[in-house]
């Protein structure tokens, strides 16, 4: 009888011994499992406190500070010294109120000022008054003069000490803008380094009559104006780094001119040397003659004139103000005209006809017109000082 065989699966064919050997081999290959650890919470690191605004500002200053630059308060760079122009009216226009509310008048030191206008209007006179006043402060006056028409007697009468006036004159054919500019820069550097605490005014008289080296050699050409403007721009870039924190002020006297435009037209008034000093200046003062502004003394004799001014630029106060002051032919700026005009308008001086009178400490002082007021001031200096105090009170 035939036996019926059942089909054997592959697993059934394997011997138990071989299966056990394979199991042992696989156990040997697989690593032993370690029990899983419970996750631990990471400790939070303490964050440093955020710096305050004050700390950030201090860090910024330390980061910037070097031999090249540093961060300073705005007040630090404010002018520390001021020089009177000699004119009450102009000083009042040049008003600056600092951060503490203190009032300052006049030309600030450590800045550039440009004074311009037509010829024979009193630009050199104004510069001489600044020289005299800075000398009275114990300071130094330096004049770089390319226009050699200055009258020493007149300058002395204004109050300038000629023995102490440092006057730079140029040899023949050497008075160019380039040479004058170099001497201005050298003068400013010298006083900044040798005596930084001294008030110093360096004046150039005058830019408008100073030729370039090319003009001296070749004469005037159509390109002369453009060439001068380029040289002045370079000069301004040399002057600008000398100003911060300095007690040296540069006063530039300049002239106006009208150029002929394409087609034969006439342009508006321009100053010589382009816009270099116009941009660099803290103050730009335009002087002009007042129509019918002759000053007459006794007997109708002309003794001077009235000069008008426009404050075209004033970075430390209110610009575009204007006024006028008297200039006497032999004495310079005289404030009797300003006092007469201001105090009569305020009716502090009572006018009857050509006579005026003012009550001072219970006594009425009389004088005939501005000339009589001037004479009273010469005879009684205390009276004039009181009138000046009254003027400041009215102007403020």
CATH architecture observed for domain 69-334: 3-Layer(aba) Sandwich (3.40)
pLDDT digits (tens, 9 = 90+) for 43-88: 667 788 888 988 887 888 788 776 666 665 555 568 889 999 999 9
Give the separation between CA 382 and CA 388, rounded to whole angstroms: 10
CB of 251 within 8 A of CB of 107?
yes
58: helix, strand or coil: helix
**Reported confidence tier of residue 259, pLDDT bands at 50, 70, 90:** low
In this prediction, residue 220 carries a pLDDT of 65
Query: Which residues of the chain are in CATH 3.40.50.300 domains?
Result: 69-334
Q: Determine the length of the chain.
A: 396
In this prediction, residue 160 carries a pLDDT of 98
User: Does residue 266 register a pLDDT over 70?
Assistant: no
pLDDT digits (tens, 9 = 90+) for 163-215: 999 999 898 889 999 999 999 999 999 999 999 999 999 999 999 889 999 88
Give the separation between CA 28 and CA 332, rounded to whole angstroms: 117
In this prediction, residue 386 carries a pLDDT of 92
Give the separation between CA 78 and CA 75, rounded to whole angstroms: 5
In this prediction, residue 227 carries a pLDDT of 85
Strand partners, 66: none
Strand-strand pairing, 200-205 and 248-257: parallel
User: Who contacts 286 (Cβ-Cβ below 8 Å, separation ≥6)?
Assistant: 116, 117, 309, 310, 311, 312
Rounded percentage of the chain residues whose pLDDT exceeds 70: 81
**Other Cβ atoms within 10 Å of 113 Cβ, number:** 28
pTM recorded for the entire structure: 0.82
In this prediction, residue 225 carries a pLDDT of 61
- Return the CATH superfamily for domain 336-396: RecA protein, C-terminal domain (3.30.250.10)
For the ranges 12-16, 39-43, 130-134, 368-372, which has the lowest average pLDDT?
Answer: 12-16
pLDDT digits (tens, 9 = 90+) for 345-354: 999 999 999 8
Q: Could you tell me which of 136, 132, 198, 142 has the C-alpha nearest to residue 166?
A: 142
User: Who contacts 81 (Cβ-Cβ below 8 Å, separation ≥6)?
Assistant: 108, 109, 137, 199, 247
Mean pLDDT of the chain: 86
User: Does residue 130 register a pLDDT over 90?
Assistant: yes
Give the separation between CA 271 and CA 277, rounded to whole angstroms: 9
pLDDT digits (tens, 9 = 90+) for 133-148: 999 999 999 999 987 7
* Cβ neighbourhood burial of 91 (10 Å; 0-12, 13-18, 19+): buried
Rounded percentage of the chain residues whose pLDDT exceeds 90: 62
**Other Cβ atoms within 10 Å of 368 Cβ, number:** 14
pLDDT digits (tens, 9 = 90+) for 268-303: 678 888 899 999 999 999 999 999 999 999 999 999
């Amino acid at each position: 009888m035939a036996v019926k065989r059942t089909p054997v699966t592959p697993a059934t064919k394997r011997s138990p011994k071989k299966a056990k050997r394979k199991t042992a081999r696989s156990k040997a290959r697989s690593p032993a499992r370690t029990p899983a650890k419970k996750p631990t919470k990471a400790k939070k690191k303490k964050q440093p406190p955020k710096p305050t605004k004050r700390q950030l500002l201090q860090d910024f200053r330390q980061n910037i500070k070097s031999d090249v630059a540093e961060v300073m308060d705005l007040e630090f760079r404010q002018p520390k010294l001021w020089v009177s122009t000699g004119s009450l009216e102009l000083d009042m226009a040049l008003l600056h109120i600092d951060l503490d509310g203190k009032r300052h008048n006049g030309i600030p030191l450590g800045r550039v000022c440009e004074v311009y206008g037509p010829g024979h209007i009193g630009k050199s006179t104004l510069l001489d008054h600044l020289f005299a006043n800075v000398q009275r402060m114990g300071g130094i006056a330096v004049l770089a003069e390319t226009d050699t028409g200055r009258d020493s007697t007149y300058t002395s009468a204004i109050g300038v000490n000629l023995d102490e006036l440092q006057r730079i004159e140029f040899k023949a054919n050497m008075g160019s803008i380039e040479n004058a500019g170099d001497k201005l820069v050298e003068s400013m550097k010298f006083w900044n380094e040798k005596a930084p605490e001294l008030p110093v005014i360096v004046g150039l008289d005058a830019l408008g009559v100073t030729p370039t080296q090319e003009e001296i050699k070749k004469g005037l050409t159509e390109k002369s104006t453009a060439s001068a403007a380029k040289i002045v721009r370079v000069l301004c870039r040399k002057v600008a780094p000398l100003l911060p924190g300095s007690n040296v002020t540069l006063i530039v006297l300049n002239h106006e001119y009208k150029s002929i435009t394409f087609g034969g037209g006439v342009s508006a008034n321009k100053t010589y040397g382009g816009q270099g000093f116009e941009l660099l200046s803290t103050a730009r003062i335009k002087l002009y003659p007042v129509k019918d502004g002759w000053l007459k003394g006794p007997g109708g004799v002309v003794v001077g004139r009235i000069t008008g001014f426009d404050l075209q630029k004033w970075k430390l106060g209110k610009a575009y103000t204007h006024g006028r002051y008297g200039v006497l032919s032999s004495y310079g700026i005289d404030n009797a005209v300003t006092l007469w005009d201001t105090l009569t308008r305020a009716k502090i001086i009572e006018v009857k006809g050509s006579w005026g009178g003012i009550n001072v400490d219970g006594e009425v002082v009389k004088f005939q017109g501005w000339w009589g007021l001037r004479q009273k001031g010469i005879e009684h200096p205390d009276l004039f000082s009181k009138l000046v105090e009254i003027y400041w009170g009215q102007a403020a």
